[in-house]
Amino acid sequence: MVNQLFEQDLQVINVGLSSFAESITQTGGKALQLDWRPPAAGDRETGKKLAALVNKPEVDAANRMAFERFLSAQPVLIGVEPAKNAIPGLGEHMLLHAGPPVAWDRMCGPMQGAVIGAILYEGWADTQEAARNLAATGKITFAPNHHYAAVGPMSGVISPSMPVWIVENRDRGNRSFSNMNEGLGKVLRFGANDAAVLERLKWMETVLGPAMRAALQASGGIELRPLIAQALHMGDECHNRNAAASAQFFKRLTSALLSTSTPQDQIKQVLDFIAGNDHFFLNISMACCKAMLDAAHGVEHSTLVTVMARNGVEFGIRVSGTGDAWFTAPAPMVDGLFFAGYSQADAAPDLGDSAITETAGIGGFAMGAAPAIVQFVGGTPQDAIAYTREMYHITLGVNAGYTLPPLGFDAAPAGIDARKVVDTGIAPVINTGIAHKDAGVGQVGAGITRAPLACFEQAIQTIE
Amino acid sequence: MHLQALSIGESVPRDHFDAVVQSAFDSALNLRLAEEDRLVTLLQAEHYELPQGIRIWQKGLSLQFIDPGTRAALRGGILRFESAALSVDLRAARVWDRRVSHLRLQPDTAALQAAWAAAWQLLNAEQRRKNADLIAEILLQPGARSLLSQRVGALLGPLLRAAADLDAKLAVDHARGLIGLGPGVTPSGDDFLIGFLAALWSIAGDAPERENFLRAFGAGLVAAAQHTSEISRTYLFHAARGQFSSAVFDLVAAFALQGEISSAVQAAVHVGHTSGMDTVTGFLLAVPAWYPRVNAPWTAAGVLI
Amino acid sequence: MITAKRMIKNLYRDSVSLMQFSEKVRALEGIQQASAVMATENNISLLVEARLLAEAVPPSPNDLLIVVEAQDESAASAALDAAEAMLKQKSADTAQGGPKKVPPRSIEMALETLPAANFVLISTPGEYAAAEAQKALQLGLHVMMFSDNVSIAEEIPLKQYARDHNLLLMGPDCGTAIINGVPLGFANVVRRGDIGVVAASGTGLQQVTSLIDRFGAGITQAIGTGGHDLKAEVGGITMLQGIDALAKDPATKVIVLVSKPPSAGVASNVLERAAQSGKPVVVEFIGADPASFSSGNLFGVKTLEDAAVAAVRLSQGQAVGEFTDALPERYSALAQPARETLNPEQKYIRGLFSGGTFCYETVLLLTQTLGKVFSNTPIRKEDSLPDVWKSQEHTVIDLGDDLFTQGRPHPMIDFRLRNERMVQEAKDPQTAVILLDIVLGYGSNMDPAGELLPAIRQAQAAAAEQGRSVVFVGSVCGTDSDPQNLSQQEKLLRDAGVLLTDSNAQAARLAAAIVSRR
């Protein structure tokens, strides 16, 4: 091969002094200058570990297998059941929450508020005070949703009686779960826990949940990837904008719901509730992403990122080839637009399991398809396209099922490769809502943030 | 790419001209007219008008793909570029011809003075936030911090006095020190003078001696503008005739019609990097020229004549 | 502190980018102040008042004037060059009007843009270089590591990987190479021909290839191995690969090997492989006895010049012939008149070198004829110069030694230190000859003669004050195709009275002849 080089035109990638690229070009060679900086913020050990993984055949083979499982997933929304019946292993006095593990005393304001609300909702305590004490005594078991194949936006709290969506991946049979979206304003996921919130949760348990279960039974389940693909063509990115997907969902469900024995007045309540919430589909979108990514988890040597999630204190990721390990860093603040009357000072750090959408290649990764999102998260439609284009450089491939009209119907980038993130220093982009740092105030803005590189660097240190 | 011009400035020839691309930016392309010493500007903007502007709006388009030196010609109302795939149809464009002199500012009214005070505060805050070289209220203080603001500050008092005395020749002599002074493709001193002229044109009213002063002062500035960049010279050429950008017009209109001052000031100061701030500085400092002694916020702010 | 300016014609950038631009220039190394304004009369007078401009320049209001205040000339000119480049850059993406593309951030990412890339040139800080080289090799790309400060422990597995995958890994610490006619790193623009070179020394490679060009022949490939390749631990992996590749290369007729003498085991492997190449191989193990490794198709030589001469003769189908230590007639004719300008007290040579191998070769040759020669990089320990800042008797200094380059650019780029030292030597009543190397090519100073001449005049003036003159002797390593142009540089130096020879070895011999008393 050395002799082959002598017969080719010299084409040089120049890493370092740019004057060398110039002299190459001036003398008839071809040179491309890298915008190089030391990977892993200059940490040599991680840099060496990373170098060993680049183009490593075992890793590439593992990633091919993991990515193939991800792409072959056929997530179908099959039902709604109370969490205690649906989620295997969910025990008594157990509460699930968003992000990596976090103890009660370290939880952020909105999450503590949601925990108190869930305790009151379950009837484990009668007063706020008693609920708070109960949470602090250790009699409640807290665990991340992700340990139970579940996801939930913002504080993401799921308690045993709450109805959850059940998504089944028809390809590999794995199931995923998510709670149901309560709408905007004073809601549990932002830490609100007053009587109105609890009353709505009760209604969701007794009316919305059973109605959805019946409708899904009548319809035989809803294939989720075609629905998301269609929503992407209608200006959603299915994380922060779900207007089209929610409408599509409504369309598919209505006639099925009418064919059930649900009382007329309840059908009206349910349809009004769904029609009034443009984010109704978000939780389903998340469960769909979770089902696809769980299929790809657990492939030895794979550097595919299968979870990105935040608990309001820490940002955590999981990687296919590193089993149950979480790689965490402090949760970043979100750079965004604030609703009138609020500012960065009111914001909680990044929160929620909803970054599962970016992990699966929609949300921020498909932002180019959702120009209207910039009114909500800031920037210009050009910026949105640029974010999507940037993500192609850190992904294993594309998801041909999701195409993006503003990018000439290019397939969306998918499958974050932790190696590429560390090697390029390009962090995955996440576009997300911003919660008020105090419990119960609700959403105060929306914006764009990046997954902390430190998480990926730790993963690279660990992968074999 | 064939585009429809949405609006054109009143001084743009509408049927026929020959020109060469003088400079190209993302959102503006300057054309040097073959027949006259001034530029016509192709603007890529959603809302922005210039007396010399041809405005188009095509999302995501950068005009930098056309190289300086490219020949351009307007024939039959269609502007075409040699060896560049762009043509612009001017025929259906709305003509933008608003004049600040029709707005008639009255500095002795309480409403205007309140607006002035609000604008003054916004301007200074913005200049401090951007760490600008020229900060309006510091110009008025002795021992200003940078050489540039010392120079501008030293010329300011004499210039205002010459305007107050309607002495055009003396005013030009002082203004000459500002021509081409400071950073930017349109240097700060020129931007300042444009704001200064906008204020005087909008205050002059029907008084013939003021209008005579403005014509003589303007003619002197255009002559002195040989000493600044071609782009800047074009703006001065129009300002001397009482023609300004929509940002300047909207600012004056907000004052005259008691509109929303803060949004007009914000829009005006955000033009360019310091250009807009420098123009607003010139504007606010010229308002007192013919109304020096009223008990007004500018007296409190230290603008002395 | 100095100021410098540059006028850029008819170039417009909007004000926002001009401001950001001034800040960017200010952030460059060695720059205190920077400003970019339209070159109007008022701005010029403002800059003069601010002492950013030494004197008023004629206004040209449509042009952009860039001024910098810098710690020295080289920082200033580097900053102005960088500034001009930044301004003129118009990204292809902006030109298309599409969203901005991300510049490639990793080697793997660069392959998306340049899929046919076959080579990676690495000049990052040494601590990161090995990781980048590993990535490049694993991606199937040949590599040159210009970076130094890479440990042997890191070097060995990289070289083994490269060898096992039939990839070329030149370096670490490989300053120069010429592949397919393209100069890489610090390298000369050398005519193409049929001589292949493998060298462990950067300046050694530059000298041999430049002389081949000067003697009318040309090269196929010039492969640098890096300074550690022939150590016993590494075992000459790259040199062996280089020999094999050139042996197989149909365009290469003659092979030249250049190195300091390798350890015995490595030397015998190298010579064995060279013997098997089936092509004539000129071997220059600088300082080793050529007779000890001449046999069959191997031709040992004593100097870098002899290596070039032998290679050219072989390439032209002639016999290698004999080499002599004697100074050729055309140079000895220069020695006599030069000697007559010296007074009896002026006895010593002071060699000031920018190239390590030039210094090494000079110390070797002078020691043979003159005896003791002091140096900061001596061949014999006992000849170590006690105070590197002060010469004694015959002294030859490598200014590229780490001792001198702390916080300064390499002496091939930055001439200040050598210039000061020249004046210092001229003031010493015992100095007879100041001996220099001048290296051209990409990476080196763009006008070495222009840098040296004022200092030579100053040195002569200092000597003249004390009623003496000193003799300047040197050689220029370069070609007429180099950006600096060899003939032009030589003419400027000759006109200033510098006695020039074609090669470093002859310069050393000429200097020795001048100080050898009748």
- B46 contacts chain A (CB < 8 A): no
pLDDT of residue B85: 61
- In A421-440, the residues whose Cβ lies within 8 Å of chain C are 423-426
Q: Mean per-residue pLDDT for B212-238?
A: 95
SS3 letters across C4-65: EEEEECCCCCCHHHHHHHHHHHHCCCCEEEEEEEEECHHHHHHHHHCCCCCCCCCCEEEEEE
Express each pLDDT in C51-85 by its tens digit. 889 888 998 888 889 999 999 988 899 888 888 87
Q: Are strands A443-450 and A429-435 parallel, antiparallel or unpaired?
A: antiparallel
In 3D space, the residue among B71, B90, B69 whose CA is nearest the CA of residue B79 turns out to be: B90
Q: What percent of chain C has pLDDT over 70?
A: 95
pLDDT of residue B147: 86
Cα gap B188→B183, rounded to integer Å: 6
CB atoms within 10 A of CB B135: 23
- C100 contacts chain B (CB < 8 A): no
B68 and C19 in contact by Cβ < 8 A?
Answer: no
Express each pLDDT in C155-192 by its tens digit. 999 999 999 999 999 999 999 999 999 999 999 999 99
Cβ B211 vs Cβ C70: under 8 Å = no
- Asked if residue B1 has pLDDT above 90, the reply is no
Cα gap B235→B226, rounded to integer Å: 12
Beta bridge partners of C195: C219, C254
Q: Mean per-residue pLDDT for B51-63?
A: 85
Cα gap C284→C268, rounded to integer Å: 14
Q: Nearest CA of chain B to the CA of A382: how many Å?
A: 7
Residue B73 tokens, joined = 């010609």
Residue C264 CA, chain-centre distance (Å), reads: 29
Beta bridge partners of B30: B23, B41
Q: Are strands C431-439 and C374-375 parallel, antiparallel or unpaired?
A: unpaired
Chain C residues with CB under 8 Å of A13 CB are 104, 107, 110-111, 114, 117, 119-121, 136, 141
Beta bridge partners of A167: A77, A176
Cβ A111 vs Cβ A96: under 8 Å = no
Q: Mean per-residue pLDDT for C39-58?
A: 89
Q: Nearest CA of chain B to the CA of A425: how many Å?
A: 27
CB atoms within 10 A of CB B128: 12
Chain A residues with CB under 8 Å of C106 CB are 34, 36, 39, 420, 423-424
Q: Mean per-residue pLDDT for B235-263?
A: 93
SS3 letters across chain A: CHHHHHHCCCEEEEECCHHHHHHHHHCCCEEEECCCCCHHHHCHHHHHHHHHHCCCHHHHHHHHHHHHHHHHCCEEEEEEEEHHHHCCCCCCCEEEECCCCCCHHHCCHHHHHHHHHHHHHHCCCCCHHHHHHHHHHCCCEEEEHHHHCEECCCCCCECCCCEEEEEEECCCCCEEEEECCCCCCCCHHHCCCCHHHHHHHHHHHHHHHHHHHHHHHHHCCEEHHHHHHHHHCCCCCCCCCCHHHHHHHHHHHHHHHHCCCCCHHHHHHHHHHHHCCCCCCHHHHHHHHHHHHHHHCCCCCCCEEEEEEEECCEEEEEEHHHCCCCEEEECCCCEEEECCCCCHHHECCCEEHHHHHHHCCCHHHHHHHCHHHHHHHCCCHHHHHHHHHHHHHHEEEEEEEEEEHHHCCEEEEEEEEHHHHHHHCCCCEEEEEEEECCCCCCEEEEEEEECCHHHHHHHHHHCC
Residue C26 tokens, joined = 């200010």
CB atoms within 10 A of CB C218: 17
Residue C215 DSSP class: T
Please, where are the H alpha helices in C33-147?
A: 41-49, 73-88, 92-96, 107-113, 126-138
Express each pLDDT in A264-299 by its tens digit. 999 999 999 999 999 999 999 999 999 999 999 999
Which residues of A sit within 8 Å Cβ distance of B?
Answer: 381-382
The owner of tokens 């610490």 is C173
Mutate to test the interface with A, among C105, C180, C221 (most CBs of A within 10 A): C105
- Rg of chain B taking only CA atoms, in angstroms: 19
Cα gap C246→C226, rounded to integer Å: 18
Q: Nearest CA of chain A to the CA of C176: how many Å?
A: 11
- B281 contacts chain C (CB < 8 A): no
pLDDT of residue A159: 98
pLDDT of residue A440: 82
Mutate to test the interface with C, among A1, A20, A382, A410 (most CBs of C within 10 A): A20
Q: What end-to-end distance do the CA atoms of chain A give, in Å? A: 30
- In B176-205, the residues whose Cβ lies within 8 Å of chain C are 177-187, 189
- Asked if residue C17 has pLDDT above 90, the reply is no
Q: What percent of chain B has pLDDT over 90?
A: 52
Chain C: touching chains (3 or more CB pairs < 8 Å): A, B
pLDDT of residue C90: 47
Burial (Cβ within 10 Å: 0-12, 13-18, ≥19) of residue C219: buried
pLDDT of residue C113: 78
Cα gap B182→B147, rounded to integer Å: 10
pLDDT of residue C12: 58
- Asked if residue C94 has pLDDT above 50, the reply is no
pLDDT of residue A4: 85
- Asked if residue C96 has pLDDT above 50, the reply is no
B62 and C94 in contact by Cβ < 8 A?
Answer: yes
B182 and C37 in contact by Cβ < 8 A?
Answer: yes
Chain A residues with CB under 8 Å of C122 CB are 15-16
Burial (Cβ within 10 Å: 0-12, 13-18, ≥19) of residue A354: buried
Q: pLDDT band at residue B25, thresholds of 50, 70 and 90?
A: confident
Chain A: touching chains (3 or more CB pairs < 8 Å): B, C
Cα gap B33→B28, rounded to integer Å: 16
- In C58-87, the residues whose Cβ lies within 8 Å of chain B are 59, 61-62
| Residue at B223: amino acid letter | A
Q: Nearest CA of chain A to the CA of B61: how many Å?
A: 10
Query: Across the interface, which of C123, C166, C167 has its CB nearest the CB of A16?
Result: C123
Helix axis angle for B110-129 and B275-286, nearest 10°, is: 150
Cα gap C105→C128, rounded to integer Å: 14
- B129 contacts chain A (CB < 8 A): no
| CB contacts < 8 A (A, C) | 188
Give chain A's residues under pLDDT 70.
Answer: none
A16 and C146 in contact by Cβ < 8 A?
Answer: yes
Q: Nearest CA of chain A to the CA of B116: how many Å?
A: 27
Chain C residues with CB under 8 Å of A47 CB are 128, 131
Query: Across the interface, which of A2, A33, A55 has its CB nearest the CB of C168?
Result: A2
Chain B residues with CB under 8 Å of A381 CB are 59-60
Asked which of B190-199, C11-20, C108-117, C306-315 is least confident by mean pLDDT, the reply is: C11-20
A34 and C110 in contact by Cβ < 8 A?
Answer: yes
Mean pLDDT of chain B: 89
In 3D space, the residue among B56, B57, B58, B51 whose CA is nearest the CA of residue B95 turns out to be: B51
- Asked if residue C11 has pLDDT above 70, the reply is no
Beta bridge partners of B9: B96
Chain B: touching chains (3 or more CB pairs < 8 Å): A, C
Residue A242: what are its φ and ψ, rounded to 5°? Answer: -130, 20
C142 and A5 in contact by Cβ < 8 A?
Answer: yes
Cβ B260 vs Cβ B271: under 8 Å = no
In 3D space, the residue among A289, A270, A290 whose CA is nearest the CA of residue A280 turns out to be: A270
Cα gap A35→A22, rounded to integer Å: 15
Which residue of chain A is at minimal alpha-carbon distance from C118? Answer: A11
pLDDT of residue C15: 45
Mutate to test the interface with B, among C10, C12, C20 (most CBs of B within 10 A): C12
pLDDT of residue A442: 85
A5 and C180 in contact by Cβ < 8 A?
Answer: yes
Cα gap C311→B105, rounded to integer Å: 89
The interface predicted TM-score (ipTM) is 0.91
Cα gap B160→B153, rounded to integer Å: 11
Local structure of C410: helix, strand or coil: coil
Which residue of chain A is at minimal alpha-carbon distance from B62? Answer: A382
Q: Nearest CA of chain B to the CA of A272: how many Å?
A: 38
Express each pLDDT in B81-100 by its tens digit. 876 567 788 888 899 999 99
Residue C307 vs residue A185, higher pLDDT: C307
pLDDT of residue B87: 78
- Asked if residue C91 has pLDDT above 50, the reply is no
Work out the widest C-alpha separation in chain B, in whole angstroms.
Answer: 61
Asked which of B140-149, C236-245, C262-271 is least confident by mean pLDDT, the reply is: B140-149
Sequence length of chain A is: 464
Query: Across the interface, which of A9, A26, A423 has its CB nearest the CB of C106?
Result: A423
Q: pLDDT band at residue C277, thresholds of 50, 70 and 90?
A: very high
pLDDT of residue C89: 61
Q: Nearest CA of chain C to the CA of B254: how many Å?
A: 26
Mutate to test the interface with A, among C106, C206, C225, C412 (most CBs of A within 10 A): C106
Chain A residues with CB under 8 Å of C104 CB are 13, 32, 34-35
Region of C467 please: left (phi>0), alpha (psi -120 to 50) or beta: left
B177 and C42 in contact by Cβ < 8 A?
Answer: yes
C184 and A44 in contact by Cβ < 8 A?
Answer: no
Residue C298: what are its φ and ψ, rounded to 5°? Answer: -100, 130
Q: Nearest CA of chain C to the CA of A189: how many Å?
A: 36
In 3D space, the residue among B37, B3, B19, B15 whose CA is nearest the CA of residue B237 turns out to be: B37
Chain A residues with CB under 8 Å of C99 CB are 382-383, 385-386, 389
| pTM for this predicted structure | 0.69
- C92 contacts chain B (CB < 8 A): no
A20 and C109 in contact by Cβ < 8 A?
Answer: no
pLDDT of residue A244: 96
Query: Across the interface, which of C36, C59, C97 has its CB nearest the CB of B60?
Result: C97
- A41 contacts chain C (CB < 8 A): no
pLDDT of residue C33: 85
